[in-house]
Amino acid sequence: MRVKRLIVRLSVIVLIVASCLFTFWAMGTSWFWEPQISGYEKQDRISPPKPGVIVFTGSSSIRFWHSLSADMKPLDAINRGFGGSQISQVNEYAARIVLPYHPKAVVLYAGENDMSWPWHKSAETVLADFQQFVKIVHTAFPDTPVYYISMKPDPLRWDHWPALANANRMIEAYCRTQERVKFIDVSAAMLDAQGKPRRELFRWDGLHMNAQGYALWTSIIKPVLLDDSTAHAPEAAAATAPPSN
């Protein structure tokens, strides 16, 4: 009887482990995210956003930003983040969840999952995937600015921070060479005086942010978007104004 119970328990453990491993493997494929992408498309058919919104996309740090549209007011912004996605997957779905909105600007947060277990992509690969994202957006809309939110330092993945910080520096350096591509650094403000992640910004899992974390992000990202929106407004007005007699 004890042997049977032991076998049952071991079988349950094996099934749980196998299920977790399958889930992690599937998250590395594009088809895993199809339900979320289809959900956005269904939502758009019911209540389509007006053209010219600011599109936020990327992984769970965007997906879980439930107050994003309200936080960005008076700017019109929509949330098109999906799960624990990687930049390459955002690239694959950009034609369905970014480009259809004829975005005024595009804001991306991704890369952290790419470089973490179990994928461990290199900083060079992450940079190349981001460059491809920029190409996708600018091929369709050459004048649309693209913003990259720096990968954040979080308690759960603190051991990976040196690699993530290096990738941030590489992406920032690339952004400086491009027109209409800007790097927004949120990581510095998320570290305490000892250079460690500020635990009060995160949920219990030490990975995803809480309301305080998103409030911090809003205080950094929104002014950049507002300043750029104001700076470009005269250009846009001049481009659409009728010629003077």
Structural domains in the chain, sorted by start: 50-227 (3.40.50.1110)
What percent of the chain stands above pLDDT 70? Answer: 82
Give pLDDT, residue 233.
Answer: 56
> pLDDT band at 12, cuts 50/70/90?
very low
Q: What sign does the dihedral 214-120-27-92 (CA atoms) show?
A: positive
What confidence score (pLDDT) does residue 4 get?
Answer: 56
Question: What is the rounded average pLDDT for all residues in the chain?
Answer: 87
Range list of H helices, 55-122: 60-63, 68-71, 87-97
pLDDT at 20: 31
Residue for token pair 């004829």: 102
**How confident is the model at residue 46, as a pLDDT?**
97
pLDDT tens digit sequence for 156-200: 999 999 999 999 999 999 999 999 999 999 999 999 999 999 999
Mean pLDDT, rounded, for 142-157? 98
pTM (two decimals): 0.85
Laid out side by side, the sheet with 105-109 consists of 77-81, 54-58, 105-109, 146-149, 181-184
| Mean pLDDT, rounded, for 210-225 | 98
Q: How far apart are CA 100 and CA 152, in angstroms?
A: 28
Statement: residue 19 has pLDDT above 50: no
Residue 16 has pLDDT above 90, yes or no: no
Backbone angles phi, psi at 29, to 5 degrees: -105, 160
pLDDT for 10 equals 46
Supply 90's token pair.
């955002």
Contact call for residues 146 and 181 (beta carbons, < 8 A):
yes
* pLDDT reading at 242 higher than 60: no
Mean pLDDT of the region 41-68: 97
| pLDDT given for residue 130 in this prediction | 98
pLDDT for the residue numbered 29: 53
pLDDT tens for 79-138 read 999 989 999 999 999 999 999 999 999 999 999 999 999 989 999 999 999 999 999 999
β-pairing verdict for 105-109 and 181-184: unpaired
Residue 62 near residue 111, CB atoms below 8 Å: no
